[in-house]
Amino acid sequence: MAVEGMQPLAMARRLADKHGCNVVVTYGAYGMVAAEREGGTWYMPAEPTTVRDVCGAGDTVMAALSTSMLAGNCFHQACRLATTAGGRQVERLGSAAVQSL
């Protein structure tokens, strides 16, 4: 997976450096790449799951990421929780609330 000749980790890192912020790029069944404002960059694979419907998965990932960080988790842990939440969302038909992580 490359965007205009750039690998996903390099793309996330470049965006984080340019804008001085944390960056998350989701890749559906492949998981996500993330770059911290402070310099850490990583790939986080998606957990294997039975996909029934992808409706709402991206919104679920962003909501879980934001909520987790507001609760005081570090960016890396928030990404881990968000990946899990997105995986649980796609196991359901249509949009549904993720009950617990």
Instruction: Report, as residue numbers or ranges, the catalytic residues.
Output: 59
What contacts 75, CB < 8 A, 6 or more positions away? 22, 34, 36, 40, 69
Query: In which element (H, E) is residue 43 found?
Result: strand 41-44
Rounded Cα–Cα distance for residues 43 and 14 (Å): 15
